[in-house]
Chains A and B, each alone.
Chain A
Amino acid sequence: MTDTVDTPPTPFGRNPRHFGIDPSDAWPDDVPKDQDDTHWRYEGDPKGARKAERRIAAAWTVTMLASVGLAVVYVDGANNVLAGLCWGLAFGGLGIGMLLWARDLMPGHDVIASRGHHNVSSEADRVAVAESLGRGLDPMARRPFLFKMLGAVGGVFGIAIAFPIASLGPRPQRNLFKTAWGKGVRAVTLDGKPVRPSDLPYNGILTVFPETNVHDALAPTLLLNLGNLTNETPPERVGWNIPIDGKTGIIAVSKICTHAGCPASLYNVVTHQLVCPCHYSTFDVLQICKPIFGPAPRGLPQLPLAVDAEGYIVAQADYSSAGGGPVGPGFWNRG
């Protein structure tokens, strides 16, 4: 099969012999001479042919019955299972009938024919096309300045016509680093009710939103009541929890997974782990939501909490780098 590699270079490159033939030679005639493709399967068997005809008719009868069935199903409330059955039988009967007709009563199988051409042109044609191309290339080569200028025009104009793309969206701005949380912003449930520390039982978990904008997709936050469990608090995060009876009490972490942004909303109260069901990143709540399994590279950021004068839970500030922010998955200039 590799009989062409070692021959010296020719106008046809490394493959002077296409399919083992010199392209300037005639295509070989290796088609059997006595072929007769007018025969069909039941040609000499009228009984078999009649049976075949009946089989095809039966298949197409199924199609007709199923079509009537479709109309009935449609009028009678369009039951999905019956509709699928009728559509399937209608298409199936039609297709099987066609296949049987081709197989049993139609001529034209098992024919051998020549592929008929080299799929490559003669040397003269190749020279001709190169010359036609050269008719334009040579004058261009005589004007190198214009040719180079055309390249520059393409670059400059190319940038200019790309500008409509800029309208698709705003410049990425600082709002990837910010959420609607801020100093004194109340934590509310989905229906806008503010939350008191006493609303969360021990081991309780609650999704809350900033009162100022419950639709902020980066803001959903989990309130967790850890009771008297010890949460490893680094010095810069002291006072971010709402103590209950002098113990750890309630902490707040971002619900948005730092891996791919899904809500990390499965809470295992036995092991105190938060799991994101998208790719199963697992965070240990007792180690300030450090990732302990799965692809998430960073912990869930923590939101500093306080209680306002009316006894409702509020944020001390927005998510910050001290708390492991900004919220959500990583990006190039996250810093």
Chain B
Amino acid sequence: MIRPAFVLLALALAATALAALALGSAAIPLASVAQWPFSPETLSPRDRLILENIRLPRLVLGLAVGAMLAAAGAALQGIFRNPLADPGLIGVSGGAALGAAAMIVLGGDHLVGPLALPLAAFAGAVTATLAVYGLGRRHGMVSPPSMLLAGIAINALAGAGIGVFSYVGDDVQLRQLTFWTMGSLGAAGWNTLAPSLPLMLIAMTGLALLATRLDVFSLGEREAFHLGLDPRMMVRLTVGLTCLGVGAAVAAAGPVGFIGLVVPHLIRLSLGAGHAVLLPAAMLAGAILLVGADTAARLVAAPAELPVGLLCSLVGAPFFLWLLRR
């Protein structure tokens, strides 16, 4: 059951990646794409340029962001012990976007170095998550309704903050900000990837290493302590890694909603709740979903492209409603 599922996910990932490289407003034949790693010189200079400098970084970013958001969703759901937790829903992405917005407008050109944006997004993500975690607790237990309400409030606050920054920002900053609030892989290039990719890889590796502890934590904070886990340390570690990764993802691609909510849920339904399987499977599925959605977003209105965050919300929001009604 589990091994075939991973084979299937890997095959789907390969297929999606090939499609993402081949398809677009300027189609490149699949045969050329398949040949490119071995003999790049056989491609036409134009195809090579598109492949190496536009589609490949975009594919890598899509894979990383999709996997990161799914892993973050799974980990946050484990820590909040609630399948409704999602980086977008509980304000992590909102906080990260606000941090990024503040850095774009207030930081000025000299400050917005390659690491400044991910760090600002990280700071925003940490603040939002800690606020939600603190406000969502009643008598030492995370209470899901308070947590969701706190998330709504934090999201509203972050939205208002981004509004203020758009109001005071100049035209160039405004354009940059709009990109953040919609979520898109369009700005992908090797220079945006350089700071974000390592941070996301570190966060994902760290979260994958916490799998057993997340299992134990699912029993409850007190039970986790009885089994030998320091619950506070565990929360700090998970929230820290999640914020690091989501901060980096949001800094590079803007807030992309619902992947963190939908993907872990689907994996749990089909492969069970154990995090040692859930986390890697969710990462694969998240990567497939985001790259697939991005390819679709590039094709639907070609040569123009839909922001992929918009597309994810269009599909994710009805799924979320179904989840609530179930």
Q: Do A and B come from one complex?
A: no
